[in-house]
Amino acid sequence: MKALLIIPLVLASLLTSHAQSTVKENLQIESKILKSPVKYSVYLPEGYPSSKQKYPVLYLLHGYSGDNSDWLHKGNLQRTADALIKKGKLEPTIIIMPDAGNCYYLNSANGKWNYHDMFVKEFVPAIEQLYRIKKENKFRAVAGLSMGGFGATMLALKNPELFGQSASMSGVFWTNERLMSLNQKNFDAWFGKMLGTDLAGEKRINAIWKTFSPLELFSKVPVEQANQQRWYFDCGSSDNLSSVNAKLDSILQARGINHKFYTREGHHNWDYWKANLKYVLLFFNQKFAS
């Protein structure tokens, strides 16, 4: 009889030791604003299905030409988050990876593809009805790479009541001078949908750009308001965006806005982002665990 009892105990032990996080890809919510579904992927920490507790949430954004599966297949997200949680360095956290195409997480100039409005008014509320998420903004973070770094910074600046924390990796932060000097073909391809096509010179620095550009926003946001949020930026030393990220750092320093800024060895590629994801998660954990 004792030998028979050992078997289920051993099986239970094995099942417990192999319990792990769950990832689901290409889920979707319906958007009335975009008049189309929005895809996303989700990371659920170990224990989520059997737990009744609420969790912090991180909205993790992809870069230009990427999609909602990038962080899972290229960024080693699941393994990195699992390892930090197992070591007690990251509170178990729900991570949501939305798909945004190439819109820089902005509204379109013609008003027909208002991604920013959709994200704030539809996507976040829908996600937080589907999953058990803590509602205070200090437990709601947004991060991203490249275009997603721009998006994460802009979304937090524009919506401080939603996001208490933001992190950018290799963020595509355009100075006004760089935007004005961009050749017309690339400007129309990259920014025409959001700012308007066939714009040249100073006409590119229009009301839309001034409303959403992180450099513009950080130059004007009340310092007291900005310091109620937590800000993180990093960029590879061999990345051609290192100088504009350094410029953003100088703006924040000059205005007395508290933030973390790091230059680490690397290029604008997945080797860099995959290696540095852990630092972003560790940055957030300081508030998630409080």
CATH of the domain at 92: 3.40.50.1820
**Do 124 and 153 have their domain in common?**
yes
**Do 149 and 180 have their domain in common?**
no
**Do 141 and 269 have their domain in common?**
yes
CA 107 to chain centre: 17
Angle between helices 270-288 and 77-86 (to 10 degrees): 40
**pLDDT tens readout for residues 225-270:** 999 999 999 999 999 999 999 999 999 999 999 999 999 999 999 9
Q: Which band of pLDDT confidence, cut at 50, 70 and 90, is reported for residue 14?
A: very low
Q: 2 lies in a domain? A: no
**Do 180 and 164 have their domain in common?**
no
- Which residue range forms the structural domain that includes residue 183? 175-212
**Do 136 and 63 have their domain in common?**
yes
DSSP character string of 180-207? HHS-HHHHHHHHHHHH-TT--GGGGS-H
| Nearest of 49, 61, 30, 269 to residue 126 by alpha carbon | 30
Q: 4 lies in a domain? A: no
122 burial class (0-12, 13-18, 19+ CB within 10 angstroms)? middle
Q: What is the percent of the chain where pLDDT is above 70? A: 92
The number of distinct structural domains making up the chain is 2
**Do 283 and 204 have their domain in common?**
no
| Nearest of 108, 155, 127 to residue 30 by alpha carbon | 127
Q: Which band of pLDDT confidence, cut at 50, 70 and 90, is reported for residue 16?
A: very low
Q: Find out whether 276 and 234 touch, Cβ atoms under 8 Å.
A: yes
**Do 189 and 235 have their domain in common?**
no
Q: Which band of pLDDT confidence, cut at 50, 70 and 90, is reported for residue 198?
A: confident
**Do 123 and 266 have their domain in common?**
yes
Q: Find out whether 266 and 275 touch, Cβ atoms under 8 Å.
A: yes
Query: CA-to-CA distance for 232 and 144, rounded, in angstroms?
Result: 11
**pLDDT tens readout for residues 130-146:** 999 999 999 999 999 99
- Give the count of beta carbons closer than 10 Å to the beta carbon of residue 195: 23
Average pLDDT for the chain: 91
**Do 184 and 202 have their domain in common?**
yes
List the single range of 3-12, 76-85, 222-231 with lowest mean pLDDT: 3-12
**Do 114 and 199 have their domain in common?**
no
183 burial class (0-12, 13-18, 19+ CB within 10 angstroms)? exposed
Can you give the pTM of this predicted structure? 0.91
| DSSP label at residue 265 | S
List the single range of 2-11, 12-21, 78-87, 92-101 with lowest mean pLDDT: 2-11
